[in-house]
Structure 1
Amino acid sequence: MAGSDERRFQVLRAIVADYVANQEPVGSKAIVDRHNLGVSSATVRNDMAALEEEGYIAQPHTSAGRIPTDKGYRLFVDRLSEIKPLSPAERKAITTFLDGAVDIDDMLRRSVRLLAQLTRQVAVVQYPTISAASLRHLEVVPLSPARLMLVVITDSGRVDQRTVDLGDVITEENVTRLRDSLNSALAGRRLTDAASRVSELPDQAPGELRDVFIRVCTVLVEHLVDHPEERLVLGGTANLTRSVADFPGSLRQVLEALEEQVVILKLLAEARNPGAITVRIGEENEDEQMRSTSVVSIGYGRDDMLLGGMGVVGPTRMDYPGTIAAVRAVANYVGRILAGG
């Protein structure tokens, strides 16, 4: 909106605020009555005419009021001078709710529930990216004389368990040798590097333990080449049905896109830096099924360690300041916990 004055933007901001709150087209009289702009209805009408001509607002059907366009929402988001902070009560609720998580799976499930409740939108969280994680420790626990449990602990906080049937008994001494050998070879390595290292271990094992190493390493390789980052936790889908009018003729398409996780993974992949918010509004979404939605996403992690992405999907008629604040607060907390901060 280069060359236009600040007052026009205040009119646009008023239209966005009222339309998001009431879902009704906004007229000049309502703007004068509800917002202290210090100008007459005639001046507001002139500003609205200019905004409409420039594509920031539109007149739906025969209504006298106007609604924001994707272009109008984009200008509004780009000019958010500050994101309203969450209240102390909201921040305490986030901490209390997420502190109760027992493991990473529980943490991510709680995160989507919390985001969906705070924003009243669909929340989505991507599992930590395997390529960014390193193996912190590998514990070997005897379940029976011929059966072991492998506990894989990563520096991103993930704890996975796998069982291994050995086909023969193993002594406590050999369990210790196995544990020490595995940790010596793998601890501190990126999981992607650890997978290739694991495949070499059976050839280096003592003869009497070679069969044990083959069985254990086979299970480990299957685990390490898994791609948890391709898994998503989704919550709050029912929130989309609160106002079908926000998705004229396209709510079914949006729901189908949410089921096709590859669409959401592609959107979350745009969040490359922890703490950096990305907002895609309407037509800015490449996938045609998502063009009646806005997606607010963020990377979570710590400093330059990106673990994954999270965000919310909702209609373009969204409380952007409140949504951005909630997404950022939850991502900061989850990233700090999983990155060991």
Structure 2
Amino acid sequence: MSEDRRLEVLRAIVQDFVSTSEPVGSKALLERHKLGVSAATVRNDMAALEDDGLIAAPHTSAGRIPTDAGYRMFVDKLSEVKPLSRAERTAIRTFLGQSVDLDDVISRTTRLLSSLTGQAAVMQYPSLNTATVRHLELVTMAADKVMLVVILSTGQVEQRVLDLPRPLTVAEGDTLVGALRSAINERSSGLRRPAASTALREWAGELGGGTADGGGAGDGGGIGDPGDHRDVQAALVREIAAVLAEEREERVMLAGTANLARSSNDFPMTIGPVLEALEEHVVLLRLLAQMDGQQIADGVSVRIGAENTVAGLTGTSVVTTSYTAGSVAGLGVLGPTRMDYPTTMAAVRAVARYVTDILNQ
């Protein structure tokens, strides 16, 4: 029973400190919480918690504050992540549902998370390297140019102008594009970019005018009359394959760093190293990739203080989860260890679910 009571005392200290940012004393605990014990018992429990390294005295006062271990204990003992209210869920769904494209979804999501939690929010773009091809579209631009539109399973759309090896008349270009359109989709739709690229390169070799390695001519495999611009067909298919084979840099979006500045007193030394770390996208990607740490309810990961191994962020807490949009990517928030963990975890979880639903419609 004493262990349960001490956990209640720890929970009360965490809640009060998060709310007030002031060290919490036994008198304040008794006034604000119905602990059902005497002041002497509360003081004894606080002494035991301090001996266990779960709370500490920031200076020579009667008040105590949670340590990183205390926050960890508090988070680990959460029986469940409290759900958001119906009004909050409706607001999230409405705000994100107004997005017009993927960039808008990412922008709205980070701004929304930052607003809901009062922390800095970060979100990873779905990986282009693991996305599958949903559709390839070709549009004649000029006698020697064709626009390629790549639509991926993540909802991302890429456009690229490709050069033909020689000019064609308008009629020839339209005929070529019309014939190739269904053929390239038949060979690439549903495949990941690298696999789609390989399939198209192999087909380009069959079309003739050079193989994937640039040599040799093929027999058959063409569209329509074998002598009808076979070299242009093969060259265009190889260009499309090259676009799909390109490695793409992972991207992230950050919002709400001003919230960290407003909480600068919560950082042990200075907020400078935190802001410097967040300027590096590789750091942000690493934060979102490290979801193999403490897993709480519904896949929400919470890393507190020194559990963050990234230089400059050992005085912060990071709450992350994943969402799915053709590939798995991460989103979450970062702030001081004096964080409203239940509310933050609920917001991160709820927003990730809505993002997944929206991007997979």
Output the TM-score relative to the length of structure 1.
0.91
- In structure 2, what is the Cα distance between the partners aligned to 1:56 and 1:50? 9
User: Aligned runs of 1:190-269 on 2, under 5 Å?
Assistant: 190-205=192-207, 206=222, 208-211=229-232, 213-215=234-236, 217-218=238-239, 220-228=241-249, 230-269=250-289
Q: Percent identity?
A: 52
Distance change (3 Å), C-alpha of 1:209 and 1:307: farther
Instruction: Give the aligned residue type for 1:242.
Output: R
Measure how far apart 1:212 and its partner are.
5.1
**Alpha carbons 2:201, 2:237 under 8 Å: kept:** no
Q: Deviations over 1:167-198 (max 9, x none)?
A: 52352111111212211211111123123333
Instruction: Give the aligned residue type for 1:36.
Output: K
- In structure 2, what is the Cα distance between the partners aligned to 1:151 and 1:139? 5
**Alpha carbons 1:130, 1:227 under 8 Å: kept:** yes
User: Aligned runs of 1:52-63 on 2, under 5 Å?
Assistant: 52-63=50-61
Residue of structure 2 equivalent to 1:40: 38
Task: Report SS of the residue matched to 2:136.
Answer: strand
Pair 1:296-2:352 in alignment: no
The answer for unaligned runs of 5 or more in structure 1 is none
Measure how far apart 1:227 and its partner are.
2.5
Instruction: Give the aligned residue type for 2:13.
Output: I
Q: Deviations over 1:202-242 (max 9, x none)?
A: 323346143354356435524542325x1101111111001
Measure how far apart 1:103 and its partner are.
1.1
Instruction: Give the aligned residue type for 1:157.
Output: G
Residue of structure 1 equivalent to 2:308: 285
Output the TM-score relative to the length of structure 2.
0.87
Measure how far apart 1:78 and its partner are.
0.5
Measure how far apart 1:88 and its partner are.
1.3
- In structure 2, what is the Cα distance between the partners aligned to 1:232 and 1:270? 15
Q: How many residues align?
A: 335
Task: Report SS of the residue matched to 2:312.
Answer: helix
Residue of structure 1 equivalent to 2:337: 316
Residue of structure 1 equivalent to 2:186: 184
**Alpha carbons 1:164, 1:216 under 8 Å: kept:** no
Q: Deviations over 1:30-51 (max 9, x none)?
A: 1100011111221111100000
Residue of structure 1 equivalent to 2:107: 109
Q: Deviations over 1:119-168 (max 9, x none)?
A: 11111111112344211111112234443222211222222222224352
Distance change (3 Å), C-alpha of 1:224 and 1:319: farther
Bigger Rg, which one = 2
Residue of structure 2 equivalent to 1:160: 158
Instruction: Give the aligned residue type for 1:300.
Output: Y
Measure how far apart 1:245 and its partner are.
1.2
- In structure 2, what is the Cα distance between the partners aligned to 1:200 and 1:17? 62
**Alpha carbons 2:131, 2:327 under 8 Å: kept:** no
Structure 1 runs, 4 residues or longer, greater than 4 Å off: 272-275
Pair 1:271-2:291 in alignment: yes
Residue of structure 1 equivalent to 2:29: 31
- In structure 1, what is the Cα distance between the partners aligned to 2:277 and 2:188? 39
Measure how far apart 1:73 and its partner are.
0.4
- In structure 2, what is the Cα distance between the partners aligned to 1:271 and 1:142? 45
Q: Which stretch shows the higher mean deviation, 330-339 or 55-64? A: 330-339
Q: Which stretch shows the higher mean deviation, 33-42 or 274-283? A: 274-283
Q: Deviations over 1:7-29 (max 9, x none)?
A: 10011001100111111111111
Residue of structure 2 equivalent to 1:15: 13
**Alpha carbons 1:138, 1:183 under 8 Å: kept:** yes
Instruction: Give the aligned residue type for 1:27.
Output: G
Task: Report SS of the residue matched to 2:83.
Answer: coil
The answer for unaligned runs of 5 or more in structure 2 is 208-221
User: Aligned runs of 1:132-147 on 2, under 5 Å?
Assistant: 132-147=130-145
- In structure 2, what is the Cα distance between the partners aligned to 1:221 and 1:294? 42
**Alpha carbons 2:120, 2:259 under 8 Å: kept:** yes
Distance change (3 Å), C-alpha of 1:144 and 1:99: farther
